[in-house]
């Protein structure tokens, strides 16, 4: 099978690589993280100008009709730069929910604005004491005339404090449902936080929030099925992002081995460290292969799609930990300082493993589905 990019895909890869190289030097990222909001609206506008925000959306919605491979290309490059703009939360997570469940009117009111960079969205699903991969929610939505009333609390909402609108999961009489909730509505309280990997997060409290009837995304009771698909697409994107972060970590480590000297020779000449670097490369290439599998699997039937994406998430979870640990150890104390990129990459890899189910969780999913055999 030919895994080489098409000419258009290679042009896309070159374009996003240039964006990261030009705009995401590590020192620049540090300044962005310390600024208001924890991310750069200037960079977000640049992503919009390049057309990258419209890539996965259908042409009839104003997008470019890209698929899993195109998202993999973008997320791998963003992973190398440890880019913290809300691409994952807005384009991947919220975008998947809109593409899979929104009405034509709901898409028309949001997708063109997302593509233009003027509308930030995120998924607000995780709740206190709930696992990150759980579909259970305590937030409630009750009928109120033609509309709805929402009450509950959401935590770790990615880019929630900078979002214009959130997709909120809530329990209805018919089962879980998803709702479009503008962050400026009365009764919505959003408190900014920052994850240990530098990602802007938020805690959101909903106190008797009034929503119109057309705020419902899909139908009552369809929320879990919609979220399951969103989780699959997000995990495939996270796998690609992890590969980018791992490749950057590996490159930084091998360069350090070439330049750091001990006993008047580069430490990369020591056989034991060479062997450890080779082990890192093997894990990286295994993860790269699984990222391709996850991207291609998005078009497969449900059971095989879920198994393949879970298998990819397992691989990058284990490989990311191994590569991160080896990189920190071989760098010594500098590897865990905030002034050096390796430690930040390791934190992001740890966060990716935990998001939407860690390696152990996805091993359990594969086992429950009777293994990987089609």
- pLDDT for res 2: 66
Q: Are 165 and 172 in contact (CB under 8 A)?
A: no
Domain extent, residue 181, equals 123-220
Domain assignment of residue 210, yes or no? yes
Rounded distance between C-alpha atoms, residue 366 and residue 369, angstroms? 5
The rounded distance, in Å, linking the Cα atoms of 107 and 180 is 11
- Are 100 and 144 in a shared domain? no
pTM: 0.96
With 0-12 / 13-18 / 19 or more C-beta atoms within 10 angstroms meaning exposed / middle / buried, residue 266 is middle
Domain CATH for 353? 1.20.140.10
Are residues 230 and 350 located together in one domain of the fold?
A: yes
CA atoms 91, 306, 58, 3: torsion sign: positive
Contacts for 56 with CB less than 8 Å, ≥ 6 apart:
63, 66, 67, 70, 71, 91, 92, 95, 96, 99
Structure confidence at residue 1 (pLDDT): 57
If asked whether residues 281 and 320 sit together in one domain, one would say yes
Judge if 102 and 137 occupy the same domain.
no
364 lies in the same domain as 229:
yes
Mean pLDDT by 10 residues, the chain (374 residues): 85 97 95 94 97 96 96 98 98 98 97 98 94 90 96 97 97 97 97 95 98 96 96 98 98 95 89 96 97 96 94 98 96 88 97 96 92 66
CA nearest neighbour of 124 among 103, 138, 143? 138
* Co-location of 206 and 242 in the same domain: no
Measured in residues, the chain has a length of 374
Boundary of a domain, candidates 171, 193, 220: 220
- Helix residue ranges, H only, the chain: 7-23, 26-34, 41-49, 68-81, 95-101, 104-116, 223-259, 271-297, 302-331, 341-354, 359-368
Claim to verify: residue 323 and residue 275 sit in the same structural domain: yes
* CATH code of 60's domain: 1.10.540.10
Query: At 122, which helix (H) or strand (E)?
Result: strand 121-124
**Residue 374: its pLDDT value, please?**
52
Of 118, 144, 161, the domain-final residue:
118
C-alpha to C-alpha distances, 354 to 234, 350, 351, 373, nearest whole angstrom: 13, 6, 5, 25
Whether the Cβ atoms of residue 187 and residue 179 lie closer than 8 Å to each other = no
Say if residue 236 is in the same domain as residue 208: no
Residue whose entry in the numeric block shows the structure tokens 């042009």: 11
Task: Select from 188, 192, 131 the least CA-distant residue to 157.
Answer: 192
One domain for residues 171 and 214: yes
**Pairing outcome for strands 175-182 and 216-217:** antiparallel
For residue 94, tell me if it sits in a domain: yes
pLDDT value for 329: 94
Residue 275 in domain: yes
Residue 371: per-residue pLDDT:
79
CA distance 251 to 230: 32
- Based on its alpha-carbon atoms, the radius of gyration of the chain, rounded to whole angstroms, reads 21
Output the CA–CA distances (angstroms, integers) from residue 99 to 65, 246, 314, in the order listed.
11, 30, 27
Domain membership flag for residue 260: yes
337's tokens: 């300082």
Q: What is the CATH number of the domain that holds 215?
A: 2.40.110.10
CB distance 16 to 77 below 8 Å: yes
Answer yes or no: do 228 and 357 share one domain.
yes
Domain boundary among 97, 118, 139: 118
| Pair 170, 51 in one domain | no
Residue 269 in any domain: the answer is yes
Assigned domain for 373 exists: no
pLDDT at position 319, please?
98
CA 296-123-356 angle, 5° bins: 55
Note whether residue 311 is domain-resident.
yes
Q: How many structural domains are present in the chain? A: 3
Q: What's the distance, Cα to Cα, between the start and end of the chain in Å?
A: 18
- Has residue 374 been placed in a domain? no
Looking at the structure, do residues 196 and 236 belong to the same domain, yes or no?
Answer: no
């Amino acid at each position: 099978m030919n895994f080489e990019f098409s000419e258009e895909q290679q042009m896309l890869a070159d374009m996003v690589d240039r964006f990261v190289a030009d705009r995401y030097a590590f020192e620049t990222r540090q300044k962005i993280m310390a600024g208001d909001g924890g991310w750069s609206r200037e960079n977000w506008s640049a992503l919009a100008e390049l057309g990258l925000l419209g890539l996965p959306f259908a042409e009839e919605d104003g997008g470019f009709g890209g698929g899993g491979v195109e998202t993999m290309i973008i997320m791998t490059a963003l992973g190398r730069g440890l880019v913290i703009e809300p691409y994952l939360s807005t384009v991947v997570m919220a975008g998947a929910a809109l593409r899979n469940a929104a009405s034509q009117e709901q898409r028309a009111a949001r997708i063109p604005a997302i593509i233009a960079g003027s509308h930030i969205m995120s998924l607000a699903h995780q709740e206190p004491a709930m696992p990150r991969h759980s579909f259970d929610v305590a937030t409630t939505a009750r009928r109120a005339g033609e509309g709805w009333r929402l009450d509950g609390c959401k935590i770790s909402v990615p880019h929630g404090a900078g979002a214009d609108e959130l997709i909120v999961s809530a329990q209805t009489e018919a089962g879980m449902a998803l709702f479009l909730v503008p962050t400026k509505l009365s009764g919505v309280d959003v408190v900014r936080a920052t994850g240990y990997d530098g990602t802007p997060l938020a805690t959101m409290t909903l106190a008797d929030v009034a929503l119109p009837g057309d705020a419902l995304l899909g139908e009552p009771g369809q929320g879990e099925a919609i979220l399951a698909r969103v989780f699959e697409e997000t995990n495939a994107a996270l796998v690609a992002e992890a590969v980018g972060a791992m490749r950057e970590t590996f490159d930084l480590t091998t360069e350090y081995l070439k330049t750091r000297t001990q006993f008047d020779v580069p430490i990369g000449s020591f056989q034991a460290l060479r062997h450890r670097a080779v082990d890192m490369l093997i894990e990286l290439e295994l993860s790269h292969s699984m990222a391709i599998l996850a991207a291609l699997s998005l078009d497969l039937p449900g059971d095989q799609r879920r198994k393949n994406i879970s298998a990819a998430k397992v691989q990058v979870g284990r490989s990311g930990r191994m590569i991160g640990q080896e990189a920190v150890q071989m760098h010594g104390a500098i590897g865990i300082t905030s002034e050096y990129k390796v430690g930040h990459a390791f934190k992001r890899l740890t966060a990716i493993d935990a998001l939407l189910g860690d390696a152990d969780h996805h091993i359990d999913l594969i086992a429950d589905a009777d293994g990987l055999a089609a």
